[in-house]
Amino acid sequence: MRQDKDRSGKWLLTHHGDAILKLAGIEGFTAWRALQTETVAPRRLPDGLLEVRFPDEDEPTLVLVEIETYPSADADRQVYEDLLLATLDRGVVPDVVMLVLRPKGHQEVKGVAERISRRKTARLAGAWNVTRLWELNADDLLAVGDAGLIPWVPLARTSDPPEDVLRRCRDALDRVTEKRDYKGLSAVTRILAGLAYPGHKMLDLFGEERAMIESPVLDEAYALMRKLAKEEAKQEADAVVREGRERTLDTLRDVIIDTLTTRFGTESAGLIVLAEIVDEKRLKSLIRLAIKCPDIDAFMAELSKPAPTP
């Protein structure tokens, strides 16, 4: 069941991340997108990262999402570690959405954690809001009219019998016009409703259990996330390569200017414009020329010639 919950959560993060933000009381945003999480750390991945844009803010807000089936002593530690890793990886402290789906005995999630060094000379602490689904009102979630909230409704607080709750969820999903979204929402509603009403006969309103667990829609969500991960990793790698190349070119240009300044003085060297030269081999040849040329005019004459064809 945990694997099914994880699959459902990731699908909802990818397709209806805005609804998860609303569950946690985050509103007023104008756009959002799910980010791949594989770059956070190879040994520990949060359930999701969302990039959220708000009006009149130039930079997007990073939101780390963790979804726990039940409260546990380990849950706070996991969020704390994810918060530290995301901060190191992204360079900003993200906001946190922590959802806990079902209560369990006397166990609690506190939304705080800290670590203190052995000699007590250092202390790291974190705190975040916790959204407990059973404390939200099911009627309020249905009233929003957001299809992405429907799968969470069976886990919310209600005095209605399970039959009524599941039927209202089914009716709300029937208003979803996009076929693929309808299938995905039905699949995850079946899985999450199974947490609230395990084994209930009316779960079949959302399709057969085996079909839901093996839903190609959920598999496609994973494929999409893997694709996004590869694309973002490639973009980051390309950016590193470009940055390294620019640093190399800048260094070569500086060597040329420094050489000419040493040999012929700052006034003549200041006339040299090298910013438009982006060929590393060309710049290296100009370094050799700067060392050997008899005067600045000879350097300028060579510089004005068309670059040799590779």
Given a contact cutoff of 8 angstroms between Cβ atoms, the answer to whether 109 and 69 are in contact is: no
Work out the average pLDDT over 261-290: 77
Q: Summarize pLDDT for 119-168 with one digit per residue, the tens.
A: 999 999 999 999 999 999 999 999 999 999 999 999 999 999 999 999 99
Top pLDDT among 147 and 250 is at: 147
Given a contact cutoff of 8 angstroms between Cβ atoms, the answer to whether 35 and 131 are in contact is: no
| Average pLDDT across the chain, whole number | 84
Within a 10 A sphere around the Cβ of 240, how many other Cβ atoms?
Answer: 10
What pLDDT is recorded for position 303? 82
Does residue 297 have a pLDDT over 90?
no
Token digits of residue 115: 């670590």
Contacts of 263 by beta carbon, 8 Å cutoff, 6+ apart = 290
Whole-angstrom distance, CA of residue 108 vs CA of residue 231: 38
Per-residue pLDDT band for 306 (boundaries 50, 70, 90) equals: confident
Q: Summarize pLDDT for 200-213 with one digit per residue, the tens.
A: 888 888 875 444 44
Whole-angstrom distance, CA of residue 256 vs CA of residue 287: 5
| Percent of the chain residues topping a pLDDT of 90 | 45
Lowest mean pLDDT among 3-17, 154-168, 215-229, 289-303: 215-229
Work out the average pLDDT over 4-10: 72
Residue whose C-alpha is closest to residue 112's, from 138, 165, 76: 76
Top pLDDT among 43 and 196 is at: 196
Pairing of strands 112-116, 61-68: unpaired
Work out the average pLDDT over 253-263: 83
Token digits of residue 43: 């040994």
Given a contact cutoff of 8 angstroms between Cβ atoms, the answer to whether 85 and 44 are in contact is: yes
Is the pTM here over 0.75, yes or no? no
Write down the H helix ranges in the chain.
2-23, 73-90, 138-144, 162-173, 179-196, 209-213, 216-264, 266-269, 280-292, 296-304
Per-domain residue ranges for the chain?
2-229, 236-304
Per-residue pLDDT band for 283 (boundaries 50, 70, 90) equals: confident
What pLDDT is recorded for position 150? 97
